[in-house]
Amino acid sequence: MNLGNRKFVVIGIVVFIILAFIVRLFTLQISDDYWSRKAANLTERSTKIYPPRGLIYDRKGELLVANQAIYDLMMLPREVKDLDTLRFCALLKISKDEFDERLAKMRKSRGWASNKEQVFIKQIRPEDFAPIAEQLYKYPGFYGQPRTVRNYKRGIGALLLGDIGEVVQRDIDRDPYYRPGDYIGKGGIEMAYEDYLRGQKGVRFMVIDPMGRPQESFNEGDFDTLAISGQNLVSTIDSDLQAYGEYLMQHKKGSIVAIEPATGEILAMVSSPTYDPNLLVGRDRGSNYGLLQNDSLLPLYNRAIKGTYRPGSIFKMVQALIALDEDKITPQTRIACNRNLIGCHGPHTYDDLEGAIIHSCNPYFRGVMQRMVEANIKKDRFEDAAIGMSHWKERIESFGFGTALDTDVPGVNRGNVPGKKYYDKIYGEERWAFSTIYSISIGEGELLVNPLQMANLGAIIANRGYYYPPHTVKDIGGQGKLERFRTPLQTNIDPDYFETVVNAMQKVVEQDGGTARRARTPGITVCGKTGTVQNDPLPDHSVFMAFAPKENPQIAISVYVENAGFGGTWAAPIASLMIEQYINDSISDPRKEQRIIDQHFFD
């Protein structure tokens, strides 16, 4: 046997192994990026830098919504050692079961990894976190991470301002800017102006060690981006007026909407009952939200924009204005108060327009609307009514009724202005005529409007024919308000026609026997109109719409008090107090105020 050849076997084995190693290195390092991605996961961490959210001021410059620090208790599982669970639970004021539950939930979550920080407890208020922070050094692997949440300085305007909460999957799907755990505006100004308030998140890439501790910036910070602060907003809200409105509306269900007619700026928007927006901040947000949601008085329901009611008598002024403009009537037109056609009340028989508004004469306005609907274009009264209705609906909508009013308040219920389509659906095409639908002529029937639209009507009349879409923010980061709030919308009704209506509204308040005597305000000429919205079988809603002063109006207002009866009794005096508070910044008759405060419609 020639043993010399055996060297080739040994050489062969060596060469084979080295080649195998080279192939293996090639697959590890070159052909597959699995391991390099793995390494990046292990060694790099991107940290989001949250910019401070924009602040919100009221129209006088008072800070309404500020930011406050809050702490998330973070946990880095890998670093947790020798945890004295019971003492830790006592420190956090949670039970052992809750501790186990949280841990189990975290372990199941998608982001779980022993070297990745996890949120153990969210949103601990600074005062609660201070004692925890002192002891935290005893519990390696746990640390606090500051975040900012909202702080509502005056505790007013909860639904108007809105709140912030963690994004849900839908938000993330809609806008990839958001990541789980981010905050987003939920309702009100926070939601409508989310894009301006949130600013721009920054990101910092760090190289970390195996314990997850940041060591140095990755690639000398080349991939980092700076956080851009959110823009501050100046709201149109007069916080004193808003607070006063909430004060007046305590123990009452309903709403107040006050608008500056010249600009469309919403001065106050009260929905009652309300709650302190600070309840929805921090750790208790979840439980408090549940309580509010289950409250039978629906405090989370913004009655000012979502509540829809029959407009009632107040609608007669809209009818009057359109009929005047359509030349169907003149201010001198008299119509007999024929109570066989439709019910009425009060001692009058044959009013002109002004009288009919003051007396709220139902047969008069039935007649007015008949003239508009029965246009005498077609012989067939059914066809004729359909043409008339379509035109009428268009004109009604130019007052903002039946529309969402291009406002910045999210969630407006547009109400209902029935037209041809609507009645065709109910009765069938050409199966209805004026006699079928006449109840809408006096603001009853299928008509539905919301309090914001009603206040806007006040602004339209105050402006004698135009309005700006009502809005809640007058300045975004020093750039002024949104473009769409800078151009007025016209009703195309001749300003002259408004004088009759305005004079009548003044008399409603000032004349002896006027329905809104309680709306009289010393030194201010208030023009208003009461409404009493039938609400069988529950008591009627008390409604009042007004603006003041008569010349150069500064405020238009709608007040709804649910189940409170006649419009003049509760809604009118509340409106009067609001007007006085806004214009004079003081109340001349404390007894009037006390009467309102003492009245409880619920406890």
Partner 1 sequence: MQRGRDIRKNIDWLSIGIYAALVICGWIAIYSASFSEAHPEIWDMGMPYGKQLLWMGICALVALFTLNIEGEFFNRFSPIIYLSVTVMLVLVLLIGKKVGGARSWFAIGSFAIQPSEFAKMATGLFLAYFINTSGVKFKSFTNRLQVFGIVAIPAGLILLQPDAGTVLVFLGFIFAMYREGLSGNILIIGFASLILGVVSIIMGANVVEYPWFGEQSGIFYVGLGILALAALGFLGVKLLVLPRNRKRTNLIVLASLFGALIFSGGVYTGIEQILKPHQKERIYILFGLEVNNPDADYNIRHAKAAIGSGGWRGKGVLEGPMTRYNFVPEQNTDFIFCTIGEEWGFIGSVFVLLLFATLILRLLFLAERQRSQFSRVYGYCVASILFMHVLINIGMVIGLAPVIGIPLPFFSYGGSSLLGFTLLIFIMLRLDSERFSVFR
Residues 6+ apart with CB under 8 A from 506: 525, 526, 527, 550
Residue 299: phi, psi to the nearest 5? Answer: -65, -20
Q: For the residues of 562-593, what is the DSSP string, one character each? A: TT---TTTTHHHHHHHHHHHHHHSS-S-HHHH
Single out the segment in contact with partner 1 by CB under 8 A; choices: 122-130, 171-179, 206-214, 267-275: 206-214
- The answer to the question of residue 85 lying near partner 1 (CB under 8 A) is no
**Binding partner 1 by CB under 8 A: which of 28, 90, 168, 291?**
28
> What does the alpha-carbon distance between residue 257 and residue 583 come to, in Å, rounded to a whole number?
15
- The answer to the question of residue 9 lying near partner 1 (CB under 8 A) is yes
Q: Is 476 helix (H, G, I), strand (E, B) or coil?
A: strand
- The answer to the question of residue 15 lying near partner 1 (CB under 8 A) is yes
- The answer to the question of residue 104 lying near partner 1 (CB under 8 A) is no
Token pair, residue 72, equals: 């998330």
- The answer to the question of residue 1 lying near partner 1 (CB under 8 A) is yes
Interacting positions 29-68 with partner 1 (CB under 8 A): 29-30, 32, 34-36, 38-40, 42-44
Other beta carbons within 10 Å of 305 = 27
- The answer to the question of residue 25 lying near partner 1 (CB under 8 A) is yes
> What does the alpha-carbon distance between residue 538 and residue 563 come to, in Å, rounded to a whole number?
7
Q: Which is nearer to partner 1, 14 or 538 (CB)?
A: 14
- The answer to the question of residue 207 lying near partner 1 (CB under 8 A) is yes
Single out the segment in contact with partner 1 by CB under 8 A; choices: 28-36, 285-293, 449-457, 592-600: 28-36
**Binding partner 1 by CB under 8 A: which of 215, 293, 376, 584?**
215
Pairing relation of β-strands 233-235 and 56-57? parallel
- The answer to the question of residue 478 lying near partner 1 (CB under 8 A) is no
Minimum distance from residue 37 beta carbon to partner 1 (Å): 8
> What does the alpha-carbon distance between residue 84 and residue 140 come to, in Å, rounded to a whole number?
11
Minimum distance from residue 180 beta carbon to partner 1 (Å): 24
Residues 6+ apart with CB under 8 A from 101: none
Cis peptide before 126 (omega within 30 of 0): no
Minimum distance from residue 78 beta carbon to partner 1 (Å): 9
- The answer to the question of residue 4 lying near partner 1 (CB under 8 A) is yes
Minimum distance from residue 76 beta carbon to partner 1 (Å): 15
Residues 6+ apart with CB under 8 A from 306: 411, 412, 413, 450
**Binding partner 1 by CB under 8 A: which of 89, 119, 208, 300?**
208
Query: How far apart, in Å, are the Cα atoms of 531 and each of 376, 431, 544?
Result: 32, 31, 6
Minimum distance from residue 204 beta carbon to partner 1 (Å): 16
Q: Is 328 helix (H, G, I), strand (E, B) or coil?
A: coil
Q: Which is nearer to partner 1, 38 or 484 (CB)?
A: 38
**Binding partner 1 by CB under 8 A: which of 134, 209, 276, 496?**
209
Q: Which is nearer to partner 1, 42 or 136 (CB)?
A: 42
Token pair, residue 544, equals: 């009042």
Contacting residues toward partner 1, per CB under 8 A: 1, 3-4, 6-7, 9-11, 13-15, 17-18, 20-22, 24-26, 28-30, 32, 34-36, 38-40, 42-44, 207-210, 215
